[in-house]
Amino acid sequence: MAIYGYARVSTIDQDLAIQEAALKAAGCTVIRAEKKSGLSKHDRKELNTLLEFMRDGDSLVVTRVDRLARSVGDLQDIVRLLKQKG
């Protein structure tokens, strides 16, 4: 069982350091980060890589829910996928 972290900022001039430090402090062994708008989950390659890689018993940590999803529907889709994976 692994603890994975996901960090995202919306523009290339924003800094990921605060999110990455918080994820490390939370015990994340792998952190995937990207500078990408959250408008479409399909465009977030690091998130998609994480979601594909995760297995039964793994945990996903984010610093704020808006870093993971941009809408309730988007969040529901991600949660459904993670539940299917265990």
Structural domain boundaries enclosing 66: 3-85
Whole-angstrom CA distances from 51 to 14, 39, 60 are: 24, 17, 9
Which candidate in 10, 37, 59, 71 is catalytic? Answer: 10
CATH, residue 50? 3.40.50.1390
Which one, of 3, 8, 38, 36, lies nearest residue 20 by Cα?
Answer: 8
Give yes or no: 71 in active site.
Answer: no
**Cα–Cα distances in angstroms (integers) from residue 47 to residues 18, 42, 82, 83, 86, in the given order:** 18, 9, 12, 16, 17
Is the model's pTM score more than 0.85? yes
Question: pLDDT 10s digit of each residue in the chain, 86 long?
Answer: 899 999 999 888 899 999 999 999 999 999 999 998 766 666 889 999 999 999 999 999 999 999 998 889 989 999 999 999 88
Find tokens 């792998």 and name the residue: 30
